[in-house]
Each structure stands twice: as C-alpha cells, then as structure tokens.
Amino acid sequence: MLDRMHREMEEMYDQMVAWRRHFHQYPEISYQEIETPKKIAEILTGCGIEVRNGVGQRGVVGTIIGAKPGKTVALRADFDALPIQDEKDVPYKSRVRGAMHACGHDGHTAALLGVAKVLSEHRDQLSGNVVLIHQHAEESLPGGAAEMIQDGCLESVDAIFSSHLMSTLPFGVVGTKKGAFTSSADGFEVTIRGKGGHGASPHQTVDAIVVAVQAINQLQLIVSRQVDPMKAAVLSVGTFQAGEAPNIIADSAIFSGTVRTFDPDTRALMEREIRRIVEGVCETLHAEAEIKYTRGYPTVMNHERETDFFLNIAVRDLGAEKALVVPPLPAADDYAYYLEKVPGMYFFTGAAMADPAANFPHHHPRFDFDERAMLVSGKLMLSLVHDFLNKGTTIY
C-alpha cells in the first residue's frame, strides 16, 4: 500500500507544481486570506474530503475517515504570504503588488493537498482518521494556530506532524531534532522621553537620542554577560526613530527589536533584564521610559517519541545519510501551539535550488525553492500516516 501511495504521489507532482505556482502568483498576506482558503476547500471537496471552512476565522480543516477504527493523526500546512515585493524573474512571479510567498508556504499547501488527494483514494485501507489542517496567518501575531486550536481543529487528534521547506538545506535531505527545535520570538518597543532644546545648549536638555543609544548599548550585554553560555539567546534592535533637525536635541526616541530564546528561564531573564536596564539608564540620565514587551510564539518543542518515530521512517525511506539531526533554529513558528496540546514533531525538508546563484534565504524578495522538495515532504507525510495508523500498535 505504501509503495503504491508513493508512486501516486509522484504522479501528482505536476499537479502539485501547478497548485503551488497558482498560490505563488496570487499570494494573500496574514489575516487577508480570502481566495486561498476558498481554493484549498474546493480542492479538498473535489477529493471527496469532509471540509470545515472558517476555522479560527480563515483556516480550513479536511477530515478523511478511514474504513477501520483507529487513531487520528493530523498534518498541518500554513498558507499565508508576506508583505514583500516579488523580484524574481520567473513565469509564476507574484501578480499581487507588495505580496509574495517568500517562505515556502505555497509549497507546504500544495504538498499537503497532494497528500490529501492520495490518502482520499486509500481511505478504505486506513485504520483511523487523518485531519488536514490548512492554517492561515502563521507570519503575524496572534497567529492562526492558536485561533484554529481554540476552534477545535485538534479535537480527537492523537498526534500531529508538519514540515517546513528550507532553502538553507540541500535538496533531498530532511532535518529535525528532539526538544527545542525553533526559538520563541518576543518583541519590544521602547519610548524614551527626555527634554528637547537647542543643539547649542545641551545642558538645558535631556537628550533622548543619547539616552536611547546608551540603553541599546547596554542591552547588547545581556546575552554576553547575563545568559548562561550553555544556552542560546538573540537580542536585535531593528528600528530607531528620533529627531527632526540637526540643530534640535530630540525630546523623544523610539526603538524596537526582537528577542529569541529556547527555554522558559532564559526567556523570562531576557524580558526582566531589558526592563531593568532601560529603566536604570533612564533614571541615571534623567529620562523616562515606556516599555512595551510582547510575548510572541513559544519554542517549538519536538516530542521525543514522535521524533524518533519520524527519524526511523526517514532513514528507511531516504537513507541514513539524508535523515539529519540538525541544530535548533532561532526562528519562530506558531506550530509550537499544536505541540503544546498534542504529541508530535516538526521537520525541515531541504529545498535549496540546484543553481546556487538562484538560492536566497527565506523572506528575501528573490526567494524560491526546488519544487521537487514537495515530493520529499509529501512522501514522508504519507509514510507517517501509513505507519502511525496501520502499524501503530507494533512500532509506535
């Protein structure tokens, strides 16, 4: 059965490419997805799959009921795009100004639709059920995952699996690890209020720019001097806004940034130290501060048993040399919320372009990926479903 499903997946390749390129040409950014979920629901319905629309606002959930009773396994793909202008010179370039699939979500969606099509034709051989979670708004807080979970997308689910195409990994390989796999992602915005005045009379002012610069410099010491060197953290200031003229001392300054960590204690430390340092600098330099700290997505924590389950399948299907244990990535994904509710894991599928000159990082205006990677992730998802439902009592 599994070999046959894999062959059928290969036969679906051209269709998956067509779906992927359609989504790529007509991207919809987070919380503006209208036509994308309609198209997904139309394809799933055409496969005879039970569909629920508007899950958590804009998500789509398809359910395949197997002929025999058993467990329920979920597969997830995100489908939102980014507010980036597509700069690629390809026939399937985005036709929507200022919007682009620059992270592979179009490929995730097309691959899961291919998996859905194949599974729908073998439901009479499935001992259990498959839930197909097509998720909106992964790229923007509060994120579609939490909204879909609240709306019941994980009801009766025993385990969940998902993949992310990665342009930084060679085509043909997959990578994952147990435990912390991607980081949490928090944001902060700091407003410094001083006292403006003439540039020739600084003694009569409280220079908000100077205060903000001092605070930013001190924040850079948190990771190097406060965080356990055996743990990881990233603090980056990405924006700075202040001043109106070269001869006027600014009365206010605003800067913002991001914090990435992999464990709860370090996450709490970073927030605590940011507040302490900014407030301390402001008190020393006679300024005031307003600090807005936003906790974003938590760490993706792969469950041990499910990760071992996946790696055994990947070694069997791809070979040991292509089933990699990789370091955690300081990027964030709201897939973390699913893993807080049910057992499961996340894996990366290598999707680097064959031509190195055409390979760009995620969120780049010229991002693209090797479309054959959709076959790799799709086949592995079929294997995961097959073994989880039909062999679960013996190997899972």
Task: Give the residue numbers annotated as catalytic, written as ranges.
Answer: 80, 138
CA distance 151 to 318: 36
For residues 154 and 168, is the Cβ–Cβ distance under 8 A? no
CA distance 378 to 103: 17
CA distance 355 to 170: 11
* C-alpha torsion angle, residues 215, 216, 220, 222 (rounded to 10): 40
CA distance 218 to 276: 11
DSSP line for 194-220 = -B-EETT-GGGSB-HHHHHHHHHHHHT
Angstrom distances, CA of residue 300 to CA of 137, 167, 182, 330, 335: 17, 19, 5, 10, 7
**Across-strand partners of 300?**
182
**Across-strand partners of 61?**
52, 133
**Across-strand partners of 162?**
76, 346
**Across-strand partners of 301?**
180
Please give the backbone phi and psi of residue 49, each rounded to the nearest 5 degrees, phi first: -100, 135
Amino acid at 223: V
